[in-house]
Chain A
């Protein structure tokens, strides 16, 4: 009887922990595994923001986006597409990229940077050369 009581208490505490972990400490998003919400060219994406920042922000912010365009700049963990979309990768670039090449990237839209006049995409992972 005593053991049953103890094991029941342990069980309740354990399940409490599991529920707490699930509710209050959910896993981080994995953008690469989430379905793409919008597929749009880098040019078009930047145009939407440049045209109407507020509407575009509500539409694209925090959404998973696949975009494509010509590589115009390459950094350590970043590339720029068409001088208009700044892409930040989660990890170092595995594929060697060259300026002028067309690529596809998947990531999360974080908004419009009015200093660079560019749309920013972070947590980018997939690159498929067209």
Chain B
């Protein structure tokens, strides 16, 4: 009986330490992040879309970073293009999200100031049922208590097994430029 109580006590202690650890992690979050992609070709109608409802989470203790965009949230100027994007290319009903998980290399919260610094990001982008490693640089600065992250990277539709029909192939750039702007708050 006494033994049981000791075990229970140890368990309780472990749980409290564990939860304290969880709560102790400092997270900076943006629930209305900005993501844009461009795949325009000269002389043709611009192929670009913006998503202003992207989530981004940065763990400032570890430098771990995650970002999620619901693909239906990408808005095009041309609504027909938006429809094709959702139905034929990205298949948003089957693959509703694009998610990036990675690390900010050598991230140190205390070293941030209002002067932007470049920092390397290394992680994986998953969308359309496929995953691809992404390495890029982002600029980070601290403004009014928030961490502002800006940057971009390129991917190709074939990285994610997205087929572009030959009839529109020359109207869509082979490389897709993705740019991001997050305002992460504690």
Contact = CB atoms under 8 A, between A and B. Distances in A.
B97 A78 contact: no
B78 A122 contact: no
A78 B32 contact: yes
Given A57-B96, A86-B31, A111-B97, A25 B80 contact: yes
B52 A111 contact: no
Contact of B31 (A28, A62, A116): A116
B57 interface: yes
Interface residues of A, number: 26
Given A111-B96, A116-B31, A62 B57 contact: no
A88 B79 contact: no
A58 B93 contact: yes
A116 B96 CA distance: 15
A120 B79 contact: no
Nearest to B52: A88
B68 interface: yes
B134 interface: no
Contacts of B32: 75-78, 88
A114 interface: yes
A86 B68 CA distance: 14
B73 A122 contact: yes
Contacts, number: 64
A103 interface: no
B57 A115 contact: yes
A52 B86 CA distance: 21
Contacts of A75: 31-32
Contacts of A24: 78, 80
B60 interface: no
Contacts of B70: 110-113, 120
Interface string B105-129: 0000000000000000000000000
A111 B66 contact: no
A51 interface: no
Given A77-B32, A88-B53, A110-B53, A115 B78 contact: no
Interface in B51-100: 52-53, 55, 57, 66-68, 70, 72-73, 78-80, 86, 92-93, 96-97, 99
A113 B55 contact: yes
A29 B57 CA distance: 31
A115 B55 contact: yes
Given A29-B79, A88-B53, A120 B73 contact: yes
